[in-house]
Amino acid sequence: MSLTRRLILSFAIILLFALLSIITHVWGNAVRSEKFSELQAVILDQNGVREFGQSLDVMHKKMRVIQTLHQAGDEMPISASEASEQIVAIRGMRARHQLLQERLLDSLGQADLVGVDRLLQFWLQYLVQMLGDTSEPLPQTVEAAPEYAAVMQSLVERELALVRRAAEINTALNQAVTMTNRIAMGTFLLSLLVTVALALHIVSFTRRSISILHRGTEQWGSGKLEYQVPPLHGELGQLAESFNHMARNLRTAMNEVKAASARADAASQAKSSFLANMSHELRTPMNAIIGYSEMMIEEAGDDDTVTVAEFVPDLEKVLSAGQHLLALINDVLDISKIESGKMTVYNEDTDLNRLMDEIIVTVQPMVDKNRNKLVYNNNLADQRTSTDVTRFRQISLNLLSNAAKFTRDGAISVTLSDVVADGKNLIEVSVRDTGIGMSAEQIEQVFEAFIQADLSTTKEYGGTGLGLTISKKFAQLLGGDITVESEVGKGSCFTFRLPRNAPVSVRRANRALAGLERAHNARVLVVDDNEAAQEISLRLLRQAGFEVMIASSGTEAIATATEKQPDVIILDVMMPEMDGWQVLESLRDAQSTRDIPVIIQSMVNEREMGDMMNVDAYMVKPVDKEQLLTTVRGVLAHRADAVDAP
């Protein structure tokens, strides 16, 4: 049973016992109230009988006085008014007697007061005759009525009976009070016992569950993330499952962190090896350049008869070493551009058969150096296509040069074919060799930067470990990819696929010329509240051939940009009323100005803020002439590329 259900059941039981206690208390009060009311009624009846007896005794004495006077010869012992008052009193006593009869009937079950009615009737008749209301003679004596003593005796007996009844009721009341108190106390003690038992049960259940959870947290805290909390019931069971899920996620995350750490260590080691290898690779051509240059200087100084033709072999070696050094530097620059996302693609129409002929001529000396045989097969139905010629040539040269480098006295084949994949027409370039091949582990790392098969490969064959990485990145930029199949000792097959007839871009030379033309005629809006800064920017930009507009505030800048539509805006950040970031946000929100490139110029270096606001460039004051013009021209040229790009 869940903790919630246990608590609800406990509360229900406690409420039930509380209700039982209330009912017992109410019932006890009702019983006591009933007995007390009955006792009060008996006491009232007792007082009523006593008071009635006293009234009867007073009336009896008055009637005896009247009789005595009458017997003494006084025909009218009392006045008529006094007689009338006594008559009224006697009639009132008769009414009281009737009411007393009814109350005695309720209290004792009997109501016969012997002779009262006859005695009262006799007194009434006597007084009426005395007033002359009847012709009958007055009775000679009051004792002709029922015996007064018998009446009083009857009243005394009824009063004693009421006293006994009151005693009985009082005893019953005490018994009821005792019984109800016992029942209430028993109910209270039972409720208390049940409440304590339920509380102990809840505490025991909760403590046991929390102890299990605590044991799990101790295990996880000690690093045993594989530990799982045993199943529990209800909400604590859900909590335990959440803890187990958290431990599983934490274990997975720890494994990922360890794997990432291992990869980082491997990458660090790879970069360290790359730097060491790059140092060696750079020194080799530099040594050749310096060595042959020194030799030619010495030969030219020692022998005046040496002709220029004799320097040609050495110059060719210097040229070769310089070209090799340039290739190394270009590889590093290319991977840097790729990783920063600044590498662009320029597609143009080309003849692949002629392009491949040029590539094969270039790579043929490398093939011949290791005594390999190169076979070229072109199975394309249409030799014309559009692609980035430079990237295509670089990819193909990298694949072929790798095949020539790692193959000796073997065969290399390059095949061009038309393929269809995922409904797309593709061109496939396959480079196969019979070289040293690679293992499955080496294939997994072959396209990672700075990594070759192993250190022995680097030492024996040289290279930076960037060629295949660059090639794969270029292939992906062209909309394709490179895959590899290989077996140790049998060779490798690299397959390069790219889409056929990619959209054509404007040639690089034409774009550069257009960019220069746009930069020369461009309109620049300078936004700065400082007049000296305005004057400096105005002079430098006008000397460079730009048309310059000035705005001294954010509001003026927005109005000018909306009306004049400048080619680029140089925006200061620290301005009154609206700062540069607010102006930039307003420009980006407006349809007419959102595409205008913006260069931020500020005394504070907030490049991260600039990146968040997607500015085109960021300059920190003071800005010199070269930096200002270079930045403006660069932004305009980049925007021209973006406009011309497909």
pTM for this predicted structure: 0.38
pLDDT in tens, 617-630: 888 887 878 788 88
Phi and psi at residue 372, in whole multiples of 5°? -105, 160
In the predicted model, is pLDDT for residue 514 greater than 90?
no
518 or 257, higher pLDDT = 257
Residue 517: is it exposed, middle or buried by C-beta count within 10 angstroms (0-12/13-18/19+)?
A: exposed
pLDDT band at 571 (very low <50, low <70, confident <90, very high): very high
- pLDDT at residue number 308: 61
Q: What is the CATH number of domain 516-644?
A: 3.40.50.2300
Residue 330: predicted pLDDT: 60
- Fold adopted by 346-499: Heat Shock Protein 90 (3.30.565)
Q: Which residue blocks in 377-445 are alpha helix, DSSP H?
A: 389-405, 440-445
The pLDDT value recorded for residue 141 is 45
Burial of 20 (0-12, 13-18, 19+ CB in 10 A): middle
Match 């400096």 to its residue by tokens. Answer: 536
Burial profile 588-626: b = 16 or more Cβ within 10 angstroms, e = fewer: eeeeebeebbbbbbbeeebeebbeebebbbbbeeebeee
Residue 94 in this model has a pLDDT that exceeds 50:
yes
Most confident of 19-33, 93-107, 550-564: 550-564
CA angle 92, 97, 101 (to 5 degrees): 150
Single-letter amino acid code for the residue at 340 = S
Residue 30 has pLDDT above 90, yes or no: no
For the domain made up of 12-185, give the CATH fold.
IpaD-like (1.20.1710)
Give mean pLDDT, residues 540-568.
92
- The reported pLDDT for the residue numbered 167 is 86
φ/ψ of residue 103, rounded to 5: -70, -40
Other CB atoms within a 10 A radius of the CB of residue 304 amount to 6
Which residues are within 8 A (CB) of 552 and not within 5 positions of it... i.e. 6 or more apart?
A: 527, 528, 529, 531, 534
The lowest-confidence range among 224-228, 463-467, 541-545 is 463-467
Mean pLDDT, range 576-594, rounded to an integer: 90
Q: CA 298, 301, 302, 308 torsion: positive or negative? A: positive
Residue 432 pairs in a beta bridge with: 413, 493
Per-residue pLDDT averaged across 4-29, rounded?
80
The 10s digit of each residue's pLDDT in 164-221 is 888 888 888 888 888 888 887 888 888 888 888 888 877 887 778 788 878 878 877 7
Going by C-alpha positions, the residue among 321, 389, 407, 317 that lies closest to residue 352 is 389
CB 370 within 8 A of CB 416: no
pLDDT tens per residue, range 118-168: 888 888 888 888 776 544 454 544 444 456 777 787 788 888 888 888 888
Distance separating the N- and C-terminal Cα atoms of the chain? 67
Position 510 confidence tier, pLDDT thresholds 50, 70, 90: very low
Q: Can you tell me the distance from the alpha carbon of 347 to that of 564, in angstroms, rounded to the nearest whole number?
A: 34
Q: What DSSP string describes 74-109? A: -S-SS-HHHHHHHHHHHHHHHHHHHHHHHHHHHHHS
Q: How confident is the model at residue 515 (pLDDT cuts 50, 70, 90)?
A: very low
Greatest mean pLDDT among 323-332, 445-454, 589-598 lies in 589-598
pLDDT of 613 reads: 83
The percentage of residues in the chain with a pLDDT greater than 90, rounded to a whole number, is 15
> How many residues in total does the chain contain?
646
Q: Average pLDDT of the chain?
A: 79
CB 358 within 8 A of CB 514: no
Q: Is 597 left (phi over 0), alpha (psi -120 to 50) or beta?
A: beta
Give the tens place of pLDDT for each residue, 373-389. 999 999 999 989 888 88
Place of tokens 């490969």: 457
- Give the residue extent of every domain in the chain: 12-185, 346-499, 516-644
Q: How many CB atoms sit inside 10 A of residue 98's CB?
A: 12
Alpha-carbon span 29 to 224, nearest angstrom = 65
